[in-house]
Amino acid sequence: MAWNVLNNIRQSLGAKIRRLHADSLCRWVADVCSKPYAMSPHPVLVIAPHQDDETLGCGGLIAMKRDLGVPVSVIFLTDGSNSHSDRPDLGAFTSDQLINTRQHEAVRALEILGLPRSDIHFLNAPDGKLDELTGLDKQTLVDRLAAIMSRHKTLEVYVPHRKDRHKDHEAVWDLVHDALAQADVEHELYQYLIWMPWRSPIFWKCAPSDLRGALCLEINGVLDRKIRAIDAYRSQHSVLPPGFLGRFHEPYEVFFRPRNGTSNGHGRVDVQRC
């Protein structure tokens, strides 16, 4: 009993420290270390490993682009079936039920943000195993990504940060680069943060330089819709760490341009070094 109490106190304290770190780090990047994001008329493609990443990382951007009449597409790479694997105590879902539930939640969340069902793509790769895909399985996923990208001449592509401290999120980087090369579409690449600020206290396994090239988008005008879209993901609220969602309710979103010439875009944005 005493051990359980101590363990609960330790977990609660750990979550509070992580939240303080994540909230402070993101606020520091937004306030001190970023330039204003310049809205463009270019079509947007958001790549999300799981159903909720797109809304958490880019929900405000999606709503603002749609309000301007800009085409937006969202691609979910995995089927989302793994979200409750660490919480058997919440075993209310079978795998199929979880897949269906998360797809319905995604459609509802994106409807709130202004996206029609026809612009939402579920590719249903195995959740938690994107980094293990090889051979034909990997090429099939790249082909499907490239086919969707090829519908546009120019794209802004949004992906999780290449050091987002989640193996599915980090695996997206290579998949998207292979698909962009195959599609041969003119593009600008942007990264969004989901897990890195939470799982990298004091830049553990990442570096301050990983947060270079930040662009900050004010989303005050659509924040209420973003929060409603986050609320649509009911199945995820019980499995995310306490306090994790707080910083996604802030009135800004931050995106990072890649370094090392990994974009072939229009050169519209002057990347700031901080």
Contact residues toward Zn ion (CB under 5 A) are 49-50, 53
Minimal distance, residue 157 CB to Zn ion, in Å:
17
- 105 vs 265 by CB, closer to Zn ion: 105
- 50 vs 152 by CB, closer to Zn ion: 50
- 73 vs 236 by CB, closer to Zn ion: 236
Minimal distance, residue 76 CB to Zn ion, in Å:
10
Minimal distance, residue 269 CB to Zn ion, in Å:
26
What count of other Cβ atoms lies within 10 Å of the Cβ of residue 95?
14
C-alpha 37/C-alpha 14 separation (Å) is 33
- 156 vs 164 by CB, closer to Zn ion: 164
Torsion angle defined by CA atoms of residues 229, 188, 33 and 166, in that order, rounded to the nearest 10 degrees? 60
Minimal distance, residue 129 CB to Zn ion, in Å:
13
Minimal distance, residue 99 CB to Zn ion, in Å:
15
- 124 vs 182 by CB, closer to Zn ion: 124
Contact 57, 198 (CB under 8 A): no
